[in-house]
Amino acid sequence: LAKTDVRGRQAAFLVHAFPMFLPPFLLALGWFHLLGRGGILGAEASSRLLFSFAGVVLVLALAFTPVVTSLVALALRGIDPSFEEAARIVAGPRRVVTRILLPLAWPAAALAALVVFALAFSELGVPMFLRVRLYPAAVFARLGGVEYAPGEAFGLAVPLLGVALGLLGFERSLAARRSFPVLGLRQRVTIPLPLGAWRGPAGGIVWVLAVLSGLPVAGLVLKASAGGFAGVPAWIGASLTNSIVSAGVAATIIAALGLVVGHGLARGRAGSRLLDAAGVLAFVTPAAVLGVGLISLWNRPATQVVYGSLAIIVIGDVARYGVVGVRTIAAAVAQGPVEHEQVAAVAGAGFARRLFRIVVPIHRRGLAGAWLLALVFCLRDLETAVLFYPPGREPLPVRIFTLEANGPESVVAALAVVQVALTATIVAAGAALLRRAQRP
């Protein structure tokens, strides 16, 4: 998709990538309406496969494969074209791919593997919906289920800290081998590699994978069309407003923090590297651990004004996804000129003045992109918020998750489609912003 002349590659990439912005639980729900016993394509065998450990693995693999695709595609598009052009003079396309492109893209693939592992390890909705007992579900059951035992939940969360520290060490080793311009949004105009006779088969494979990514969304739409949309006003409550408000506030805080920390990270400041490491640790730490920590910190009589309001959801979102804003803005700043800041510093301008008079105007599109990306991550969050959301303040993904067991199936599917439509609107805005930024 990034380097070859496959037909319709941009459209295929959009269809393939979109599901990664949705809660994986919604994709599992879509597959259920397709392959469950009462599904459109369902049978006894497909239902048994779906409600099994293998089913959890397959659903999560299809949900998170776009993460790998996107990060590797960004890395390939950021490679200096001179390497590729020089190789094409003396070697064929296969050798260019195996000797030049793949070695340069492997750090991005390793980073993608880290992100996928962190997201999959924290996932709560998919295994619980498919009735497969995994570690995060055991922690959740002791915080919000009939097995309520917060002391046991804290004990179960402790071993997960070791996993998080191991993931942080792996990410730090990757960070030492790459630069932000390489992993950023730098785009180079290159001639796609011609596939020749393989163009048709490669295009077929690409579109099969893209359609597989989009099938669960189609399953949700088909189920919701059976009278589900009429029940949305009665069942949605305040969850949509809760989602938009909490995610919007959290994304704004993330973008503001990302501006300061990301700028320092791009300029190589030691303090920013430490804060970035803390953000990475919060992201790779399983959501159950983060949830237990927030509950123990804020569930006190003196802090009920925070714990009993949307503020606790905002805090959870900022803690978990703060690194998204930091890394996005760092990538944008690293690609911009540093000379303007240096001249302003020599003229006596302080840090705040340089930041708001030079950095913000130059990188305003990068800031907007960071805000939109953080907004999408906060809107899709289920596994963090479900542990501590206040009564009546649940976001839309949590509302769907709690209604799934006893709510009307078509209405639950319609609520999921509302989540899809909201996410699609934000992703479309981000795509338009990116296209505008790439214009000369």
Q: Tens place of pLDDT for every residue, the chain, 440 residues?
A: 666 767 777 888 888 889 999 999 999 999 999 998 888 888 889 999 999 999 999 999 999 998 888 888 877 776 666 666 666 666 666 677 766 677 777 777 888 888 898 888 888 889 989 999 887 777 777 766 556 666 777 777 777 778 888 888 887 777 665 555 444 444 555 666 677 777 778 778 888 888 898 999 999 999 999 889 999 999 999 999 999 999 999 999 999 999 999 988 888 888 888 998 899 898 888 888 888 888 888 988 999 999 999 999 999 999 999 999 998 888 888 877 788 888 888 888 888 888 888 888 888 888 888 899 899 999 999 988 988 899 889 999 999 999 988 889 999 999 999 999 999 999 888 878 767 755 55
pLDDT of res. 1? 63
How far, rounded to the nearest angstrom, does the alpha carbon of residue 157 sit from its chain's CA centroid? Answer: 23
Please give the Cα distance from 16 to 209 (Å, whole number).
Answer: 7
DSSP 387: G
With tokens 């639980």, the residue in question is 25
Contact 84, 37 (CB under 8 A): no
pLDDT of res. 314? 96
Q: What are the C-alpha distances in Å from 110 to residues 48, 55, 206, 274, 339?
A: 33, 25, 22, 22, 33
**Which residues does residue 4 pair with via DSSP β-bridges, in sequence order?**
193
Tokens at 237, concatenated: 């409550």
Tokens at 258, concatenated: 């990302």
| 55-88 core/surface letters (b: 16 or more CB in 10 A; e: else) | bbeebbebbbbbbbbbbbbbbbbbbeeeebeebb
> Alpha helices, DSSP H only, in 237-363?
239-266, 270-284, 287-298, 304-307, 311-334, 339-346, 351-354, 360-362
Phi-psi region of 427 (alpha: psi -120 to 50; beta: other; left: phi over 0): alpha
Please give the Cα distance from 348 to 352 (Å, whole number).
Answer: 12
Question: CA nearest 35: which of 11, 64, 65, 62?
Answer: 62
Identify the CATH homologous superfamily for domain 9-190+231-438. MetI-like (1.10.3720.10)
Contact 32, 39 (CB under 8 A): yes
Please give the Cα distance from 57 to 50 (Å, whole number).
Answer: 10
Q: What are the extents of the domains in the chain?
A: 9-190+231-438
> Alpha helices, DSSP H only, in 36-101?
44-50, 53-77, 81-90, 93-96
pLDDT of res. 184? 45
The model's pTM is 0.85
**Which residues does residue 193 pair with via DSSP β-bridges, in sequence order?**
4
Please give the Cα distance from 290 to 387 (Å, whole number).
Answer: 9
Terminal CA-CA length for the chain: 23
The angle formed by the CA atoms of residues 74, 78 and 81, to the nearest 5 degrees, is 135
Name the 3-class secondary structure at 180: helix
Name the 3-class secondary structure at 124: coil
Please give the Cα distance from 194 to 363 (Å, whole number).
Answer: 35
Phi then psi dihedrals of residue 4, to 5 deg? -115, 175
Please give the Cα distance from 305 to 317 (Å, whole number).
Answer: 18
Please, which residues have CB within 8 angstroms of residue 335's CB and are 6 or more apart in sequence? Answer: 180, 181, 184, 185, 186
pLDDT of res. 181? 46
Q: What are the C-alpha distances in Å from 208 to residues 67, 203, 213, 215?
A: 17, 9, 9, 10
Please give the Cα distance from 217 to 66 (Å, whole number).
Answer: 15
Please give the Cα distance from 427 to 314 (Å, whole number).
Answer: 21
Which uninterrupted H or E stretch holds 167? helix 150-175
Contact 397, 382 (CB under 8 A): yes
Tokens at 73, concatenated: 């595609």
Q: What is the dihedral of CA 289, 314, 323, 378, to 10 degrees?
A: 90
Question: CA nearest 377: which of 328, 309, 432?
Answer: 328
